[in-house]
């Protein structure tokens, strides 16, 4: 059997609205599996897609989880607050010989309510500084490297 320091389970909802039943089932499954292995259960809020995040949804999701007895064993991690840690991981990867080449994606805020939101891949940051557009970096040769440090 795995020790609690080895086994970690997690639930990573996006705060785009109330927790729906399917996500609750996923959380219960993750929680029960983690506890079966005497592990640490973590909640990581995937709050990076700012145009889709709903004010108050993260707190509502955490209240719903708590109502079902599902409480993170450590403080909840908010992805939007971890940019410095991700940048450091990417730099460390570069020092160790890995390569994550930056690429930029542009969000067309006028198309935010489209499904999915309108993202345009660019090679360099946009010169367009209109309030209707936001440019943010991502990394093309890593699996969501900017956001989850899985390189």
Q: What is the pLDDT of residue 83?
A: 80
Cβ(64)–Cβ(32) below 8 Å = no
Name which residue leads in pLDDT, 144 or 137.
137
Domains located in the chain, CATH noted:
8-80 (3.40.50.620), 83-148 (no CATH)
How confident is the model over 57-80, as pLDDT tens digits?
A: 999 999 999 999 999 999 999 998
Model's pTM, two decimal places?
Answer: 0.61
**pLDDT > 70? residue 119:** no
How far, in Å, CA of 27 to CA of 70, rounded?
8
Task: Determine which helix (DSSP H) or strand (DSSP E) holds 43, and give its type and residue range.
Answer: strand 40-45
How far, in Å, CA of 62 to CA of 70, rounded?
9
Q: How many CA atoms, within 13 angstroms, populate the side-chain half-sphere of residue 81?
A: 6
How far, in Å, CA of 11 to CA of 47, rounded?
13
**Token couple for 47:** 């709050």
How far, in Å, CA of 90 to CA of 84, rounded?
10
């Amino acid at each position: 059997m795995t020790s609690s320091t080895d086994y970690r389970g997690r639930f990573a909802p996006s705060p785009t609205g109330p927790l729906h039943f399917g996500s609750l089932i996923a959380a219960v499954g993750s929680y029960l599996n983690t506890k079966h292995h005497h592990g640490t259960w973590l909640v990581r809020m995937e709050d990076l897609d700012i145009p889709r995040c709903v004010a108050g949804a993260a707190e509502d999701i955490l209240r719903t989880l708590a109502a079902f007895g599902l409480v993170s064993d450590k403080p909840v991690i908010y992805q939007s607050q971890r940019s410095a840690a991700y940048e450091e991981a990417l730099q460390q990867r570069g020092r160790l010989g890995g390569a994550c080449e930056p690429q930029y994606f542009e969000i067309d805020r006028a198309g935010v309510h489209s499904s999915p939101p309108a993202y345009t891949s660019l090679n360099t940051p946009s010169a367009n500084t209109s309030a209707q557009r936001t440019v943010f970096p991502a990394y093309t040769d890593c699996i969501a490297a900017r956001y989850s440090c899985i390189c």
